[in-house]
Structure 1
Amino acid sequence: MNATATTAPNRSTRSPLRPVLRPRLSRNRIVIGLAKHAGMLSLLFVILYPVLWMIGASLRPGNETFTTLGLWAGDLTFDNYVEGWNAGSLSFGRYFLNSLVITGLCIVGNVVACSLAAFAFARLRFPYKRFMFALMLGTMLLPYHVTMVPQYVLFNELAWINTVLPLTVPKFLATDAFFVFLMVQFVRTLPRELDDAARLDGCGYVGIFGRIVLPLSIPAIGTTALFTFINTWNDFLGPLLYLNRPEMWTVAQGLNSFVDITTQSAYGQLFAMAALSIAPIVGFFLAAQRLLIEGIATSGLK
């Protein structure tokens, strides 16, 4: 009787405090959450402001392009898009087509070559594998400008100038060490028991690669494809070196044609076509962002 008498008051004294503390804690969490979201949205606006200003400038008349730092000013017009698309002797759509062809070939080359090289380094055993892997990683320390002149001399001797071959063929040779390293790290996370089970079913190295490793490496492949798309689409120096004819120009070269140091530059048309040129990158990123996160998080690069 004494035990029950002493415990009953304790329960009665604690129970009224719980409904008081819980609303306070929930309110604090809500306030902190709103403050975090407000700060993130403010930071996002600062980051995206140059892009939003460029889009706003593309919708202004040519004489109002640099009149204000605001997003919208004056009358909105789509003349810059129409004139920029049809400027010059070639339509800007031709530059989009050239960039899509080159980018598509580079994506295929990088995915095929880098996945094969990654499978070899991660699964096969051959002499001097560690040395060759270290040598491959060492190529990441070489800037592009060091190999630019020898490559140009080689491609010139092969009569590849003014073709897409200098920009696409090297991708099929696993020359991007970063993507090989990324895919090696991903393939190493795959259990080797899957390879042993495939060998029991009669698969060789080709079967293991095509039926086991390649389907499970979709996140790493998506990451490789996304970064290859962005790097190739935005590349200006490579096409500038090897593509001299206007009908072979890419989007980056087409944008450069709107700027002229000798005469007046068409900045309104430049901003309009620049706004269109980032649309494929944004779309490709939104479509592959889940694979991008999985590929980086599971490959040890996080």
Structure 2
Amino acid sequence: MTKQDRIVRGIVYALLTAGSFLMLAPFVWTVSTSLKTQQHVFDVPPQWIPKPATLDNYVDVWSKAPLAYGFLNSATIVVFVLGIGLFTAAMAAYTFAKYEFRFKESIFMALLGTMMIPYSVVMIPQYIGFSEIGWVDTLLPLIVPGLFGHIVTVFFFRQFMQGAIPSDLIDAAKIDGCGYFRTFVTVGLPIAKPAIAAQAALGFMGIWNDFLGPLIYLHTPERQTIQVLIASMQSNYISTSNYPSMMAASIVALVPVILVFFFAQRYFIESMAITGIKG
């Protein structure tokens, strides 16, 4: 490595380090504020390390707002949508990737075309339909559509399976007497584990942080998700100027996302690599 290369690499590392500090600053400030008392929030100069530090804000929001229900409701949606929806999407993607049937490309292109429809176009018809069957103010409108998979996930899996699953392996399974479903379970799913894990990690963050859907369909506080509960805390549970309690509630909701990202960060990297695979 030449001296010029070392200089360039040092500059890049310095810029990345500075950028990481800028990205982490809001999170660190949120944690710091959640540990402060109300009178020290607007201290000048600002205190990044609160003195004194207190956990009373966390106790306060947990006792006033039904956060336990919010966690349970969000977790219920995540478990059903990811557990069943990813399996359904993988099954559809496997069919589009490895089997030939009439109008396959036309059907797939039509499904991709639905990605161009804004949610605002279907939002009101969906609400009317779910209202007619009595699903409003339940978790069903947020769970049932997700059980059939998402076209983005199907496209992601299809791109992976086209190049990662050898057709010879499928033919060998057929010779051994495996049917379509057994071949998918014994051959397709094990090979597609990296893609499924990557989508599970990304899907968890998307579902956990979803705000618009729960806001539209869930009205009772005990049935709302964690994000909607936090957004309604200022009007229902705590003072609008109680910033430490608001920051504490935000940290409580953020903990599961941080844990998932920490344990599944390699799958995020794999997802970026997998997306570029050509069929």
Q: TM-score, normalised by structure 1?
A: 0.84
Q: Is the contact made by 2:71 and 2:225 (CA closer than 8 Å) also made in structure 1? A: yes
CA distance in 1 between counterparts of 2:258 and 2:206 reads 13
- 2:213 matched to 1:238? yes
Deviation at 1:121, TM superposition (A): 0.9
Which among 185, 192, 205 is matched to residue 159 of structure 2? 185
Deviation at 1:98, TM superposition (A): 1.4
Deviation at 1:123, TM superposition (A): 1.4
Deviation at 1:177, TM superposition (A): 1.2
Aligned to 2:33: 57
Which among 95, 109, 115 is matched to residue 84 of structure 2? 109
State the identity %: 35
In the alignment, structure 1 segments of 5+ residues that lack a partner are 1-24
CA distance in 1 between counterparts of 2:176 and 2:240 reads 70
Q: Is the contact made by 2:202 and 2:268 (CA closer than 8 Å) also made in structure 1? A: no
CA distance in 1 between counterparts of 2:58 and 2:239 reads 21
In the alignment, structure 2 segments of 5+ residues that lack a partner are none
Larger radius of gyration: 1
Which among 86, 97, 110 is matched to residue 72 of structure 2? 97
Aligned to 2:59: 82
CA distance in 2 between counterparts of 1:253 and 1:43 reads 31
Aligned to 2:175: 200
Deviation at 1:27, TM superposition (A): 6.7
Q: Is the contact made by 1:183 and 1:299 (CA closer than 8 Å) also made in structure 2? A: no
Aligned to 1:18: none
Which among 8, 13, 21 is matched to residue 37 of structure 1? 13
The letter of the residue matching 1:255 is I
Once superposed, what is the RMSD of the aligned Cα atoms?
A: 2.2
Deviation at 1:126, TM superposition (A): 1.7
Q: Is the contact made by 1:182 and 1:301 (CA closer than 8 Å) also made in structure 2? A: no
Aligned to 2:267: 291
CA distance in 1 between counterparts of 2:269 and 2:90 reads 18
Q: Which gives a bigger RCO, structure 1 or 2 (Cα 8 Å, sep 6+)?
A: 2
Structure 1 pair 126–273 and aligned structure 2 pair: CA distance change class (3 A): same
Taking the TM superposition and a 5 Å limit, the aligned residue runs for 1:1-302 are 32-67=8-43, 70-88=47-65, 90=66, 92-174=67-149, 176-189=150-163, 190-260=165-235, 264-300=240-276
CA distance in 1 between counterparts of 2:126 and 2:176 reads 45
CA distance in 1 between counterparts of 2:267 and 2:54 reads 38
The alignment covers a number of residue pairs equal to 275
Deviation at 1:259, TM superposition (A): 1.9
